Chains A and B, each alone.
Chain A
Amino acid sequence: MNGPPTDPFDRLAAPIEPLHPRPDFAGDLRSRLVAALDLPVQLPERNPAMTIAATHTRATTLVPYLAVADAAGAIAWYTDVFGGAETMRVTGDDGRIGHAELSLGDVTVYLSDEYREYGVAAPSGGLSSVALYLQVDDVDAVFASAVGAGASVQEPLADQPDGDRRGTLLDPFGHRWMLAQPVERPSTAEYAARVAGSGYSVAAPAAPTGAIWAALNYADAPAGIAFLTDVLGFTAELVVADEADPTVIHHSQLLWPEGGTVQAGSANRPGNPYSERPTGAESLYLVTADPHAVWARCQAAGVTVLQEPTEPDYAPGTMVFSVRDPEGNIFSVGSYGGG
């Protein structure tokens, strides 16, 4: 061989110059590499003191768990646009965010980077099978902010016949959001009337009759039932009057629109021990999302008020009031429904 100093081919020496491949290729190869390595998942040892007691109340909400191609970018975008905060981030050794928790107002969202090796992939091609319905206080401002930050409008913001002011957009990570601000609460019948002729019909399934039926005795049962239906808002599903004396009510099934049944009947019917109880001595609590509407009817009817509308200290943000029916039974009506 020639001595190195005189070999013209030495000019071919090519030290490695780093070159970045296409991001798609780099990401795909990373996934294939991680899958090929079959990395073990190691769980920390359980701390018995942290074991959740069997009686612990489980979460009653469904938390959306989003997959995004750029979790770090998505966390910044969501918290900025929707006004929230990141409360948890778990980063894998491979740099991907395996889990993050966001608090957007009073709702929670989970998200992670894509883990295609586990079938976790972000929506693509403008198609998304799940929409995220989010109620906000100022939908016009949030919607504009989202669009300004790069979201694309799928359905412009508008007052909807169901009572929402609402619009739909696709965020930069491919997820579909329905941003809404409730502005009124039309009844199902009103909603149905508004969309009549639009190609859609509206139906709400019958309210559950409930698993506990309360029984009330009235000296004047027809008047009691009229109060329950006309003032409080029960629906008379069935009223069984005496054939000889229609003012005597043997049985009735009165449905509370949001679930539950009251049986009202005439007191002191001969041979019926259940009816031999003092009248006007019962107290019932009715749960409704809209106690204000019931209160308005009570005021219009001039009923006896036991407790003016108030925000109970056991349930901030709800409203409750109490009235008496014509015979003295107490009805408390409130928006607190447990939980």
Chain B
Amino acid sequence: MVIESVHAPSGDQRRALVEMYDAALPQVYGYLAARTGSIAVAEDLTSETFLAAAAAVRHGRVPDLTVAWLIGVARHKLVDHWRRSERESRSLAVIASEPDDVADTWDAELDALTARRVLAGLGPHHRGALTLRYLDGLPVRQVADLLGRTEGATEVLLVRAKAAFRAGYPTDTEEAR
């Protein structure tokens, strides 16, 4: 018989990507599932992430093939997703609902589950900004890069997003717990 499967030369990232698939999949999927709250969307974005990674690897554009790099690809796919959702759901009603009060001081102690629910109810642009800035803990400059905005515009977006979040968060925080 002919053994058709032999070890590739070390450094072949294509094989490396297949080898890391089992370990990386739950990380990428877990990241996306927690941020989209939807199995279907998380699966779509997970597929997009790995297929984009495959394309990048084939073109030799991956300096460091790690799970962290894959999460970065997933984050880009997430931003693309919000951008699509925003285009689809953009309406006067959403924009009109943006609160004028943009005071950026609030000392409520957020309940994680309630916060997740409130976040899910926000428009894609607010949700995306808050997710990148706070769930992922990225600096404003990086959020701006991902969203394709200036840092100043991103600051404004974040302030508006937080105001929208506060507006949607139950006023009686004791009741919310």
Residues of A within 8 A of B (CB): 1-2, 6, 8-14, 16-22, 25-26, 29-30, 32-34, 36-44, 88, 90-95, 98-99, 101
Contacts and interface: CB of A to CB of B under 8 A. Distances in A.
Given A16-B71, A38-B58, A43 B106 contact: no
B14 A43 contact: no
Contact of B7 (A21, A43, A93, A99): A93
A19 B30 contact: yes
A33 B54 CA distance: 7
A37 B17 contact: yes
Contacts of A95: 22
Contacts of B130: 9, 12
B4 interface: yes
A16 B27 contact: yes
Nearest to B19: A93
Nearest to A42: B6
B157 interface: no
Contacts of A91: 5
A25 B43 contact: yes
7 contacts: A8-B110, A9-B110, A18-B27, A19-B33, A21-B43, A29-B47, A41-B5
A1 B133 CA distance: 12
Nearest to B161: A9
Contacts of B21: 30, 33, 94
B1 A99 contact: yes
Say whether chain B's binding surface is mostly helix, strand, loop, or mixed.
helix
A76 B17 CA distance: 29
Nearest to A9: B134
Interface in B110-150: 110, 112, 115, 119, 130, 133-137, 140
A158 to B, nearest CB: 38
Given A36-B54, A36-B55, A13 B3 contact: no
B4 A98 contact: yes
Contacts of B22: 95
A94 B18 contact: yes
Interface string B27-46: 10111011100010011001
A98 B5 contact: yes
Contacts of A43: 2, 4, 6
B167 interface: no
Given A11-B109, A13-B137, A16-B27, A88 B1 contact: yes
Contact of B5 (A11, A20, A36, A92): A92
Nearest to A88: B1
A11 B115 CA distance: 9
B167 to A, nearest CB: 14
Contacts of B47: 29, 32
Nearest to B133: A9
A237 B158 CA distance: 100
Contact of B51 (A16, A21, A33, A101): A33
B5 A90 contact: yes
B108 A19 contact: no
A20 B4 contact: no
A211 to B, nearest CB: 34
A32 B27 CA distance: 19
A12 B134 contact: yes
Given A9-B162, A29-B25, A33-B50, A1 B15 contact: no
B18 A34 contact: yes
B101 interface: no
Contacts of B35: 14
A16 to B, nearest CB: 5
